[in-house]
Amino acid sequence: MFSLKNKLALVTGAGSGIGASIAETLAKAGAEVVATDRDEKGGAATVTRINEAGGKARFLRLDITNEAEIAAVAAAVKAPLDILVNNAGVGCVGTILQTSPADLDRLINVNIRGTYLVTRTFLPAMLERGRGSVVNLGSIAGVVALRDRFAYTTVKFAVVGMTKALALDHSKTGVRFNAICPCRVETPWVAQRLAEYPDPVAARRDMEGTQLAGRMAQPQEVAAAALYLASDEAVMVTGSTLMIDSGWSAGK
């Protein structure tokens, strides 16, 4: 089950954390993986781990806000994708009064516009073939609002909405669109966010306490969901929001 043999996948933000884990998991299942990231060192390291483990992968630098770079990656990939994972994203801490227009613009540009640009570039070939899976990384913040995460909550709700709109518009094409919405995941990105708090230890304790399991999720646990949605076993799944939140949203 969940074999991705002979499938071509592209993962954005594959240089670390969830993106790296997804790239490695898809490759382990048999997919040829194009790992992309602005972080060339991190992306190259992901590809090295995949290839050393017997998988097949290559790295291409990509800033998802840069249309020229997206076009260059598409030209380098050449073959139509079977799987597109829009994982790259950014965040910030703060209420609306603590969020500058520049902060909001940055999150919109990366999380919404970047996901839009990448999907718009690779979707036509998928539609022409009549098959494919697009997996967008949302967040628990795309389903329930998070305190002190005004901009992040706003853009992640948009990512979930974008996913549903894509699924509805292309429901009869054979291309599927789904979003994964994790709770807090133990990644370098989360470590950076924790460092922004006056008391990082207390902030970590608070983050862990919001999940019923009493801990953050691990990147591999999110990657397992991406593998399922990318696989042919999920052929009837489109327009869905898959929660990986240890019951956080159950009572909301």
What is the DSSP code string of 7-42? -EEEESSTTSHHHHHHHHHHHHTT-EEEEEES-HHH
68 Rama sector, left if φ>0, alpha if ψ -120 to 50, beta otherwise: alpha
182 within 8 A of 217, measured Cβ to Cβ: yes
Q: Give the pair of three-digit tokens for residue 63.
A: 């800033």
Ranges in the chain annotated CATH 3.40.50.720? 8-182+222-239
Question: What separation, in Å, do the N-terminal and C-terminal C-alpha atoms of the chain show?
Answer: 33
Q: What is the pLDDT along the chain (252 residues), one digit of tens a residue?
A: 899 999 999 999 999 999 999 999 999 999 999 999 999 999 999 999 999 999 999 999 999 999 999 999 999 999 999 999 999 999 888 999 999 999 999 999 999 999 999 999 999 999 999 999 999 999 999 999 999 999 999 999 999 999 999 999 999 999 999 999 998 888 887 777 788 778 888 888 887 777 777 788 899 999 999 999 999 999 999 999 999 988 878 766
What pLDDT sits at residue 137?
97
- Output helix, strand, coil percentages for the chain, rounded to the nearest 5: 50, 15, 35
What pLDDT sits at residue 216?
82
**Catalytic pick among 116, 152, 197, 228:** 152
Q: Which of 70, 85, 73, 66 is nearest to 10 (CA)?
A: 85
What pLDDT sits at residue 116?
98
Please give the CATH superfamily to which domain 8-182+222-239 belongs. Answer: NAD(P)-binding Rossmann-like Domain (3.40.50.720)
* Residue 90 to residue 158: CA distance in whole angstroms: 14
Q: Which of 181, 201, 183, 182 is nearest to 191 (CA)?
A: 201
Does 152 qualify as catalytic in the annotation?
Answer: yes
What pLDDT sits at residue 249?
80
25 within 8 A of 85, measured Cβ to Cβ: no
What pLDDT sits at residue 252?
67
Sign of the alpha-carbon torsion through 126, 128, 129, 131 = positive
**φ and ψ of 21, to 5 deg:** -65, -40
Spatial CB neighbours of 202, under 8 Å, sequence gap ≥ 6:
none
169 within 8 A of 230, measured Cβ to Cβ: no
SS3 55: coil
- Cα angle vertex 137, ends 124, 182, to 5°? 155
58 within 8 A of 44, measured Cβ to Cβ: no
* Residue 230 to residue 61: CA distance in whole angstroms: 23
What pLDDT sits at residue 251?
66
Scored b (16 or more CB within 10 A) or e, 76-87 reads ebeeebbbbbbb
What pLDDT sits at residue 36?
98
pTM greater than 0.85:
yes
